[in-house]
Amino acid sequence: MDAQQQSDSILPDSILIVDFGSQVTQLIARRVREAGVYSEIAPFGMAEAAFERMKPKGIILSGSPASVPDEGSPRAPQSFFEAGIPILGICYGQQVMSQQLGGEVRPGHETGEGGEFGRAYLTVTKDCALFDGLWKEGERHQVWMSHGDKVTQFAPGFEIVATSDGAPFAVIADEERQFYGTQFHPEVVHTPDGGKLLANFVHRVCGLTGDWSMAAYRDTKIREIREQVGDGKVICGLSGGVDSSVAAILIHEAIGDQLTCVFVDHGLLRLNEREQVETMFRDHYNIPLVVVDAEEQFMSGLAGVTDPEAKRKFIGKTFIDVFDAEAKKIGGADFLAQGTLYPDVIESVSFTGGPSVTIKSHHNVGGLPERMNMQLVEPLRELFKDEVRALGRELGLPDQFVGRHPFPGPGLAIRIPGEVTKERCDILRKADAIYLEEIRNAGLYDAIWQAFAVLLPVKTVGVMGDGRTYDSVCGLRAVTSTDGMTADVYPFDASFLTGCATRIVNEVQGVNRVVYDYTSKPPGTIEWE
Ligand code: XMP
């Protein structure tokens, strides 16, 4: 069996999602997985290759910012319509399927009716497999629409099964070929029954059992990693965060001591972070771990640096230098493991037929693979953050570790505006630990996306006991978010914040004033630099 055949045989029954560049394609994958079915997204230009590899049991065509009538707008591989498997087209996916099978799509401005954006109501005009056990003929249901163009003539074999004011072909079906098209978006939460409709498609139409789980994912990935790596050596940069930890533990399960983890202590870590990582990896998992004490190197380089970008650049470059040197010490490696997640992989798909994917690479060890001539091992590429957490639990990581708030690669340096010194890092570490302890004690940790303290380069006057103080200001920040792209301020009770402020000023020497950051993102960013 060659490598390609082997990988074919280990993939679970799956759904292929063809991405035409919609903002919400990732949500389709999510809903399908929530229905217990494995799915992968492929940009339309790579969909044929993905089809060959996955041998999916069904296909979903995504929405798109493109317009079907426009020249050069993307198409699905025509062969998909002859593959004999069910297809669901969503919004643009419905339109492109109609067009490719002989129907007609017209731009909103031509039909003179404009589009439909937001909440809409459709009426079910005929029962169909997609609605099985859910919607019945004659019922009205709320959905979420976002389209200008619309199908004005469906393709031979199709019929209308639901209609709305703005989209006469709100849902079309060709039950014989098992092709379905929805003008609305079932993947978004604003379509209340959307998840169930997608579950109907994968279970009832495609006939998949829905028994896929994180345990199955773990087994599949372990086999894939073994296959990719062979008897090569893998090196993994641990940040102490959830993603790189889960990747490392999974890879270790697959290839044991062929994996070496490197943890760079740049002196910009949170209180006891290094010890926690050492205990977890060495004692709990028995994973070979190299801990590099590079505090001096980082601190001396950061002396006198106050510009946020200059700090970030220095830290990124030095991190790579240190990691590279350690990798050479252990005789190099053939592969670099990274905890890259799905949202980092497909940022956007070009729908003009140009280079098809923009890959965002904002990882701590970015730049290393080329420099060290290593291939990447990225076992979390298909997962969302909360799925990584579920996988972490599956691998035995304690809840407390799995649920940790994100922590940026440049660490405390971007939470200390102005010059970063060891003394300032030590002050910040203490204040931050108190703040987080209070949050945990109040049972609020899991309700918050990220909470941390910052140390301002400002001194103010205070009074403690009978004496005057002249010390630093500590800022507290806590936000809720789903992906870090936008964020809301966490609305603590005033008494909670007062309690934190009192403890910090009393227990942390060097701080005599505490303020709370009430800025959402945008206009602020989550970190202060
Ligand atoms: P901002 O400050 O841009 O942060 O609103 C959004 C999210 O990204 C994290 N962040 C980083 N993570 N390296 C990282 O690994 C970085 O350089 C970096 N900068 C910001 C930040 O903590 C938040 O979760």
98 contact partners, CB below 8 Å, separation of at least 6: 89, 104, 105, 151, 153, 154, 155, 158, 169, 172, 181
Burial of 442 from C-beta contacts in 10 A (0-12 / 13-18 / 19+):
middle
Is residue 359 within 8 Å of 345, Cβ to Cβ? yes
373 contact partners, CB below 8 Å, separation of at least 6: none
Active-site position among 40, 116, 141, 187: 187
Is residue 140 within 8 Å of 123, Cβ to Cβ? yes
Per DSSP, the three-state class of 465 is coil
Instruction: Give the pLDDT score at 48.
Output: 97
Where do the DSSP E strands lie in 225-340? Answer: 234-238, 259-265, 289-293, 335-337
Instruction: Give the pLDDT score at 316.
Output: 87
Q: How many Cβ atoms sit within 10 Å of the Cβ of residue 362?
A: 10
User: CA 135, CA 141: separation in Å to the nearest integer?
Assistant: 8
Helices and strands (H, E) in the chain, number of each type: 17, 22
Of 268, 318, 477, 527, the one to substitute when testing ligand 1's pocket (max ligand atoms within 8 A of C-beta) is 527
Give distance in angstroms: CA of 365 to centre of ligand 1. 15
Give distance in angstroms: CA of 527 to centre of ligand 1. 7
Beta strand pairing call for 171-174 and 467-480:
unpaired
User: What single-letter amino acid sits at 343?
Assistant: P
Tokens of 441: 């004690």
Active site residue 187: yes
Q: Biggest alpha carbon distance in the chain?
A: 89
- Determine which residue's CA is closest to atom 11 belonging to ligand 1: 408
Active site residue 185: yes
Instruction: Give the pLDDT score at 370.
Output: 75
Pocket of ligand 1 (CB under 6 A): 406, 408-410, 450, 484, 521, 525-527
Give distance in angstroms: CA of 408 to centre of ligand 1. 5
> Would you say the pTM of this structure is higher than 0.85?
no
130 contact partners, CB below 8 Å, separation of at least 6: 88, 161, 171, 173, 180, 197, 200, 201, 204, 205
- Which letter, b or e, does each residue of 98-124 get, where b requires 16 or more Cβ atoms within 10 Å of its Cβ? bbbbebebbebeeeeeebbeeebebeb
Per-residue DSSP letter, 487: B
User: CA 425, CA 235: separation in Å to the nearest integer?
Assistant: 29
For residue 364, give the ligand 1 atom closest to its CA. Answer: 15
User: CA 481, CA 301: separation in Å to the nearest integer?
Assistant: 33
Point out the annotated binding site for ATP. 239-245
Instruction: Give the pLDDT score at 341.
Output: 83
Is residue 95 within 8 Å of 150, Cβ to Cβ? yes
Give φ, ψ of 237 to 5 degrees: -85, 115
Give the helix ranges, DSSP H, for 385-462: 385-394, 399-402, 422-441
Instruction: Give the pLDDT score at 210.
Output: 92
Give distance in angstroms: CA of 352 to centre of ligand 1. 31
Give distance in angstroms: CA of 308 to centre of ligand 1. 13
For residue 363, give the ligand 1 atom closest to its CA. Answer: 15
Give the helix ranges, DSSP H, for 348-421: 368-371, 385-394, 399-402
Tell the residue number behind the tokens 């703005």, with chain if given.
166
- Determine which residue's CA is closest to atom 22 belonging to ligand 1: 408
Instruction: Give the pLDDT score at 20.
Output: 94
For residue 521, give the ligand 1 atom closest to its CA. Answer: 5
First to last CA, the chain: 52
Active site residue 362: no
Q: Directed axis angle between helix 308-329 and helix 295-302, to 10°?
A: 150
Active-site position among 185, 252, 266, 363: 185
User: CA 376, CA 388: separation in Å to the nearest integer?
Assistant: 18
Length of the chain: 529
454 contact partners, CB below 8 Å, separation of at least 6: 415, 416, 417, 428, 474, 475, 476, 477, 517, 528
- DSSP assignment of 167-212, as one string? -TTSEEEETTTTEEEESS-TTSTTSTTHHHHHHHIIIIIT------
User: CA 528, CA 514: separation in Å to the nearest integer?
Assistant: 16
Per DSSP, the three-state class of 277 is helix
For residue 316, give the ligand 1 atom closest to its CA. Answer: 17
Give the helix ranges, DSSP H, for 330-364: 342-345
Give distance in angstroms: CA of 403 to centre of ligand 1. 17
Tokens of 255: 């290839």
- Determine which residue's CA is closest to atom 20 belonging to ligand 1: 408
- Determine which residue's CA is closest to atom 12 belonging to ligand 1: 408
118 contact partners, CB below 8 Å, separation of at least 6: 144, 145, 146, 190
Instruction: Give the pLDDT score at 358.
Output: 37
Instruction: Give the pLDDT score at 2.
Output: 41
Point out the annotated binding site. 239-245
Which helix (H) or strand (E) segment is 87 a member of? strand 87-90
pLDDT per residue, tens digit, the chain (529 aa), is 344 444 444 678 999 999 998 878 888 998 998 999 988 889 999 999 999 999 999 999 999 989 999 999 999 999 999 999 999 999 999 999 999 999 999 887 666 566 777 888 999 999 999 999 999 999 999 999 887 888 889 899 999 999 998 888 999 999 999 999 999 999 988 899 999 999 999 999 999 999 988 998 899 899 999 999 999 999 999 988 899 999 999 999 999 999 999 999 999 999 999 999 999 998 889 999 999 999 999 999 999 999 999 999 899 889 889 988 998 998 989 999 989 887 666 543 444 333 333 333 344 455 666 777 889 999 998 788 888 999 999 999 988 889 999 998 899 999 999 999 999 999 999 999 999 999 999 999 999 999 999 999 999 999 998 899 999 999 999 999 877 777 899 999 999 999 999 999 999 999 999 999 999 988 999 999 9
Is residue 351 within 8 Å of 73, Cβ to Cβ? yes
Per-residue DSSP letter, 155: P
